Amino acid sequence: MIKYAKAQLGDVFNKLTTSSGLVSRTGHKYADVDFSCLDDTPENYIGIQVTAMPSVDILPPHFINPKTANLVNNNYDCWEKGLLKGTYTTLKGCPSYMEHNHTKESQRGYILDAVLYPVINDGVEVYYVDELIAVHKSFSDLLQRINDRSIAVSIGADVKYSICSRCGQIIRDDSDYCEHVSMGKKGNQFNLKGYNKPTVASEICGHRDDPDSNRFFETSWVVVPAFRSAAIQHIFGSLTKLSSVLSKEHSDIQKLFGKVKVASGNSMNIQRLSLKLCSSPKLASSLLFMSDIRKMNPIGFNLGLESLVGSYETKQINEALTMVEGLLKV
Ligand SMILES: [Zn+2]
């Protein structure tokens, strides 16, 4: 059973031109990153850090902890944190495609590395997985989209079976679907005793005690990601540059990821907004003006903003402002 963390196909990629950029296998290895999967020399790839997916917390025997129900994907599939921890390394060395189209023409590079890290979601610890994806430099259309944050990622997993998070039914093929997760039924909310927010009927992919029940085999660039947390976090530039950064400053990729992480479900929107704002000199000067006011009187700035636009937007504006300050090197 193949599961994709994606919501729907964007037809924009039908127009994409393909490239024959990938040529010979070389097998370079720099620092802790294994480049042996690459078809071309590392100099010809750009390294990109993405947040690929989160996990959920399961309340035994099979209920999704309501506090982590927001981490179920838009297809109402989810991965339990123990299973994610046990299987995320299967991503290493896997290919990266456009829109889950598993052809050589659609391939854009490889997943060089994957890291797992804890995130506290509504007071409950779960795991997220970030990947370091190498994209061949010849795919300029994709790199442009990555640069302006108009594309995200989606993982592909081969799942032996899934489990209904409402009744525990084990689903190995279409004939096994129970009434809770059959066509059109997934995603219905229901309440659990002791919790003041509802949980959701979804398919839990595989089982934490059975690592063979899940194998990730690719990650695709997609227009519509299924996980709200899926986001481009950082563009390292050429892999050769990345390897020199690694060998100078960091003993391993995990530390480097920790340094640049901006993990939040909103991070890509914020990045996209910041890039847009910085591209207009007029807007940029207004933002610098806002930045000055914030520096002079942060409490007053936030109180004023909250009364105008509310606390959620105030938080977003602050995040964007901080990123703009970084981009404009204020
Ligand atoms: Zn069921």
Q: Would you give per-residue pLDDT tens digits along the chain (330 residues)?
A: 766 654 332 222 222 211 222 211 222 233 356 788 899 988 899 988 888 999 999 999 999 999 999 999 988 999 999 999 999 999 989 999 999 998 999 999 999 888 888 888 889 999 999 888 999 999 999 999 998 888 999 999 999 999 999 999 999 988 999 999 987 789 999 999 999 999 999 999 999 999 999 999 999 999 888 887 788 877 877 776 665 555 444 444 445 444 444 334 445 555 666 666 666 666 667 777 778 888 888 888 888 888 877 787 788 778 778 877 776 665
Last residue of a domain, one of 263, 288, 310: 263
Question: 257 and 287 share a domain?
Answer: no
What distance in Å separates the CA atoms of residue 5 and residue 83, rounded to the nearest whole number? 16
Q: How far is the CA of 171 from the centre of ligand 1 (A)?
A: 9
3-state secondary structure of 56: strand
Query: Residue 199's beta-bridge partner residues?
Result: 190
Q: How far is the CA of 166 from the centre of ligand 1 (A)?
A: 5
Question: 182 and 141 share a domain?
Answer: yes
Q: How far is the CA of 185 from the centre of ligand 1 (A)?
A: 10
Domain holding 305, by residue range, is: 274-327
Question: 101 and 212 share a domain?
Answer: yes
Q: Is residue 112 part of a domain?
A: yes
Q: Is residue 54 part of a domain?
A: yes
Query: Residue 46's beta-bridge partner residues?
Result: 135, 238
pLDDT value at residue 260: 41
Q: Report the Cα 57 to chain-centroid distance in Å.
A: 18
Residues contacting 269, CB < 8 A, separation 6+: 316
Q: How far is the CA of 11 from the centre of ligand 1 (A)?
A: 33
Question: 33 and 173 share a domain?
Answer: yes
Q: Is residue 188 part of a domain?
A: yes
Q: How far is the CA of 86 from the centre of ligand 1 (A)?
A: 25
Burial 175-214 (b: 16+ CB within 10 A, else e): eebeebbeeeebeeeeeeeeeeeebbbbbbbbbbeeeebb
Q: How far is the CA of 175 from the centre of ligand 1 (A)?
A: 13
**167 secondary structure, DSSP code:** T
User: Model-level pTM?
Assistant: 0.71
Q: How far is the CA of 89 from the centre of ligand 1 (A)?
A: 30
Q: Is residue 268 part of a domain?
A: no
Q: How far is the CA of 165 from the centre of ligand 1 (A)?
A: 7
Last residue of a domain, one of 263, 294, 319: 263
pLDDT per residue as tens digits for the range 202-241: 999 999 999 999 999 999 999 888 887 788 877 877 776 6
Question: 50 and 95 share a domain?
Answer: yes
Question: 14 and 114 share a domain?
Answer: yes
Q: Is residue 73 part of a domain?
A: yes
Question: 192 and 280 share a domain?
Answer: no
Q: How far is the CA of 68 from the centre of ligand 1 (A)?
A: 19
Question: 212 and 285 share a domain?
Answer: no
Q: Note whether 327 and 278 are within 8 A (CB).
A: yes
What distance in Å separates the CA atoms of residue 198 and residue 202, rounded to the nearest whole number? 13
Question: 154 and 257 share a domain?
Answer: yes
Q: Note whether 96 and 111 are within 8 A (CB).
A: yes
Q: How far is the CA of 73 from the centre of ligand 1 (A)?
A: 18
Q: Can you tell me which residue has the tokens 């892999």?
A: 239
Question: 149 and 238 share a domain?
Answer: yes
Question: Count of domains in the chain?
Answer: 2
Query: Residue 221's beta-bridge partner residues?
Result: 98, 153
Degrees (nearest 5) of the Cα angle 14, 144, 7?
50
- Closest residue by Cα to residue 115 from 149, 71, 84, 72: 84
Burial of 300 (0-12, 13-18, 19+ CB in 10 A): exposed
Q: Is residue 68 part of a domain?
A: yes
Q: Is residue 241 part of a domain?
A: yes
pLDDT value at residue 19: 21
What distance in Å separates the CA atoms of residue 300 and residue 294, rounded to the nearest whole number? 8
Question: 315 and 227 share a domain?
Answer: no
pLDDT value at residue 318: 84
Question: 191 and 237 share a domain?
Answer: yes
pLDDT value at residue 299: 87
Q: How far is the CA of 217 from the centre of ligand 1 (A)?
A: 27
3-state secondary structure of 27: coil
Q: Is residue 15 part of a domain?
A: yes
Last residue of a domain, one of 263, 283, 303: 263
